[in-house]
Chains A and B, each alone.
Chain A
């Protein structure tokens, strides 16, 4: 399966600032997704990152708060904007190599907002 690298692995940020998380895959993949895992909770899909076009956001998530880029088939970024303590979570990138195959996840970015 694809090797997925997420950066940073963790960060502590100040309220009101923004952080960009990077997801790099070692091979071209058809689909890339961003999930949020709040403390002690399950995973919730934020959006599907579309190559060359705007991401597709799930209900409750908006582009102004979570802008996403996907300039090519191996790379995507998620920005968490104007952060508040409620944004403290693990953010995970996942990829699907070939359409219909299982999703594989990166190790996540552990984000704490003070």
Chain B
């Protein structure tokens, strides 16, 4: 079945550091890929998405590129802020009319001043 593998956390960075959170997936067909963010005590917010190979999703300084050849969708940000401290989830949605999301285990990011 479909699966998503994220790098283990927690990740602790200093403010203005470069962030990469790795995400790889296993799926048949042509899934859509997502990054969601969960701030402390809140639900999930959609951060960015990509629906086909070579698409780049971007939002709030975060970027991720859908790489079919490496089955990856790594999340990057050039300069993190304290307010980026949260848990980040990579997720996939199968194509062909199936809409359930499969999530990775989540990566907790802490940014220190």
Seen from chain A, the residues whose Cβ lies within 8 Å of a Cβ on chain B are: 1, 6, 31, 33, 41-45, 48, 58, 92, 94, 96, 99-100, 102-108
Contact = CB atoms under 8 A, between A and B. Distances in A.
A31 B99 contact: yes
A105 B45 contact: yes
Interface of B: 32, 34, 36, 42-46, 49, 89, 93, 99-101, 103-106
Contacts of A44: 103
A46 B100 CA distance: 10
Given A42-B106, A43-B89, A48 B44 contact: no
A102 to B, nearest CB: 5
A102 B34 CA distance: 8
Contacts of A58: 100
B101 A42 contact: no
Nearest to B95: A100
A105 B106 contact: no
Contacts of B45: 105
B85 to A, nearest CB: 16
Contacts of B42: 107-108
B43 A107 contact: yes
Contacts of B44: 43, 92, 94, 105
